[in-house]
């Protein structure tokens, strides 16, 4: 019997080719993935730079506007001392316009800074500004209260028309950076209703039962079927003084008083000379009641958002130094960029990543070595620098002033929901989806059961007298 040994060289070559092709495919995916990762990181870096630059630029113009208002307060005192009441009235009118034009110049400066740092126009941001300009032009002058008076009285003649024209001019150039602490006059009072709290929707989506334990005690147990409507009515408009821009507001107020009540003439004369004004400020002509621009005390107060004590401490390693311990005007910016992947998605589809960056900045200064800018209720020229600040310590609302999806939900989706219940919710809206989840009693029962045995985990540990520890969502 004879045995013959043979080799399958052809088969082995075929297997090697298949193995090589598999290796090449894996290498190609790795290369594409690595390229996509670097592209995303690059876009994220550019987006962060653009957001930070836009916030600083806007805050710088806020500082300039505040200094101009302060200078005009001193100019008005000088005019009154010389008996020039006509000039004093003109100065007051200029200040009224500055409360709108200054912040809108800040918005324009923010766009320029963002675009110079490779941010591109966002059509959603631009469209929202166009719509708001139309609303200001057509709705604000016509809204009246029960007594027939204008609901939004103009701070100066033809204010709403001029304000709308400025908004249109900015929208014409396109928005790359959204003003994320914008608070429009028609916005409902934030934080006064669970349906107006973005954290409520986040808690439903993430099953964050501790949020209900801390911020909405009894809501899981107390809620019943929607009909009849369990929710209280949505709140109406906020009560405010309509002398400030809705975007990058300076948060000022008109103060009808004697100058001596606001500031002693010796200090005013010293500040005027420091600013290079030659005419002295004395008691002559300042004994009457005049209009001065002052800080809104409800906004220009201690910087409580930066407190490291209390129920919701800010996770900072130290306290704010006294020369910087005041809230007030600040600028928050939202930039959304996109990065298209080369790596194919499901069934060869194209995948695009959206990169969001928010930043905030604030003007700082001092009157002298000892006094902060708000030492006197009267606005005075004192602002010398701007700094980036954590967004959570800014005046940006929880949902963001330029979060388009949130704005659409509040304005367009909540009213039908309140009228018709879950049947009135809008398909495709993420927030509406969370309300559908909330309606299921089985969902709420899971949260009630979890909290019955695990609520102790919802209390953050205390260190050094403050409730600081893991689990805080604040800090950005």
pLDDT, tens only, 101-139? 999 999 999 999 999 999 999 999 999 999 999 999 999
| pLDDT band at residue 148 under the 50/70/90 scheme | confident
Q: Quote the pLDDT of residue 14.
A: 66
Rounded CA-CA distance 346/293 in Å is 60
| pLDDT band at residue 22 under the 50/70/90 scheme | confident
Rounded CA-CA distance 203/258 in Å is 51
Residue 473 pLDDT exceeds 60: no
Same domain, 206 and 175: no
Residue 253 lies in a domain: yes
Residue 432 lies in a domain: yes
In this prediction, residues 436-440 reach a mean pLDDT of 94
Find out whether 187 and 425 touch, Cβ atoms under 8 Å: no
Same domain, 153 and 176: yes
Tens of pLDDT, residue by residue over 296-346, are 999 999 998 888 877 677 888 788 888 899 999 999 999 998 877 767 666
Domain boundary among 395, 415, 430: 395
Residue 3 lies in a domain: no
Q: What angle do CA 265, 267, 269 make, to 5 degrees?
A: 65
Q: Report in angstroms the alpha-carbon separations of 219 from 159, 169, 212, 214, 455.
A: 44, 46, 7, 11, 15
Q: Quote the pLDDT of residue 27.
A: 78
Residue 11 lies in a domain: no
Same domain, 381 and 441: no
The whole domain housing 385 covers: 23-187+244-342+351-395
Rounded CA-CA distance 424/12 in Å is 65
Lowest pLDDT segment from 344-358, 383-397, 431-445? 344-358
Q: Express as a percent the part of the chain with pLDDT over 70.
A: 90
Rounded CA-CA distance 228/420 in Å is 10
Same domain, 468 and 331: no
Residue 17 lies in a domain: no
- Count of structural domains, the chain: 2
Same domain, 103 and 222: no
Its pTM stands at: 0.87
Same domain, 203 and 178: no
Same domain, 376 and 411: no
Domain boundary among 361, 395, 429: 395
Q: Report in angstroms the alpha-carbon separations of 309 from 301, 319, 462.
A: 17, 10, 10
Tens of pLDDT, residue by residue over 28-74, are 777 767 766 777 788 788 899 999 999 999 999 999 999 999 999 99
Domain boundary among 360, 395, 430: 395
| pLDDT band at residue 464 under the 50/70/90 scheme | very low
Residue 15 lies in a domain: no
- Number of helices (H) and strands (E) in the chain: give both, helices first: 13, 6
Tens of pLDDT, residue by residue over 376-409, are 999 999 999 999 999 999 999 888 899 999 999 9
Residue 294 lies in a domain: yes
**What would the two tokens of residue 422 be?**
């879950």
Residue 4 lies in a domain: no
Same domain, 253 and 316: yes
**What would the two tokens of residue 121 be?**
């126009």
Same domain, 330 and 412: no
More confident residue, 229 or 459: 229
Same domain, 227 and 99: no
Q: Quote the pLDDT of residue 85.
A: 86
Rounded CA-CA distance 299/446 in Å is 41
Same domain, 209 and 183: no
Same domain, 318 and 410: no
């Amino acid at each position: 019997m004879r045995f013959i040994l043979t080799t399958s060289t052809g088969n082995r070559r075929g297997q090697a080719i298949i193995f090589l092709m598999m290796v090449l495919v894996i290498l190609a995916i790795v290369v594409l993935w690595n390229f996509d990762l670097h592209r995303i990181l690059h876009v994220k870096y550019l987006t962060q730079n653009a957001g930070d630059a836009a916030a600083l630029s806007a805050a710088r113009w806020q500082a300039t506007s505040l200094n101009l208002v302060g200078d005009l307060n001193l100019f008005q005192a000088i005019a009154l001392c010389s008996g020039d009441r006509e000039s004093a009235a003109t100065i007051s009118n200029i200040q009224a316009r500055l409360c709108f034009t200054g912040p809108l110049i800040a918005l324009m400066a923010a766009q320029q800074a963002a675009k110079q740092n490779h941010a591109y126009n966002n059509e959603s941001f631009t469209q929202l500004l166009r719509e708001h300009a139309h609303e200001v032009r057509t709705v604000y002058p016509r809204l009246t209260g029960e007594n027939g008076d204008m609901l939004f009285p103009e701070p100066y003649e033809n204010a709403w028309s001029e304000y709308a024209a400025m908004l249109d001019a900015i929208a014409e150039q396109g928005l790359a950076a959204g003003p994320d602490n914008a608070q429009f006059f028609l916005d409902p009072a934030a934080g006064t209703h669970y349906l107006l709290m973005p954290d409520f929707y986040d808690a439903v989506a993430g099953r964050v039962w501790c949020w209900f334990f801390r911020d909405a005690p009894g809501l899981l147990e107390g809620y019943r079927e929607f009909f009849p409507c369990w929710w209280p009515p949505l709140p109406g408009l906020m009560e405010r003084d309509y002398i400030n821009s809705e975007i990058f507001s300076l948060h000022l107020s008109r103060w009808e008083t004697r100058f001596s009540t606001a500031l002693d003439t010796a200090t005013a004369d010293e500040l005027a000379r420091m600013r290079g004004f030659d005419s002295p400020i004395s008691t002559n002509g300042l004994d009457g009641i005049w209009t001065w621009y002052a800080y809104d005390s409800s906004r220009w107060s201690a910087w409580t958002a930066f407190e490291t004590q209390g129920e919701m401490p800010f996770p900072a390693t130290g306290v704010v130094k006294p020369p910087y311990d005041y809230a007030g005007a600040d600028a928050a910016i939202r930039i959304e960029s996109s990065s298209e992947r080369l790596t194919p998605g499901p069934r060869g589809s194209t995948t695009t990543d959206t990169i969001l960056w928010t930043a905030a900045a604030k003007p700082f200064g001092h009157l002298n070595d000892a006094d902060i800018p708000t030492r006197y209720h009267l606005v005075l020229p004192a602002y010398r620098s701007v700094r980036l600040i954590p967004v959570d310590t800014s005046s940006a609302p929880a949902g963001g002033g330029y979060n388009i999806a949130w704005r659409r939900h509040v304005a367009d989706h909540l009213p039908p929901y309140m009228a018709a219940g879950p049947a009135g919710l809008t398909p495709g809206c993420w927030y509406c989806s969370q309300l559908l989840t909330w309606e299921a009693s089985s969902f709420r029962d899971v949260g009630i059961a979890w909290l019955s045995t695990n609520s102790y985990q919802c209390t953050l540990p205390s260190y050094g007298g403050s409730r600081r520890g893991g689990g805080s969502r604040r800090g950005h």
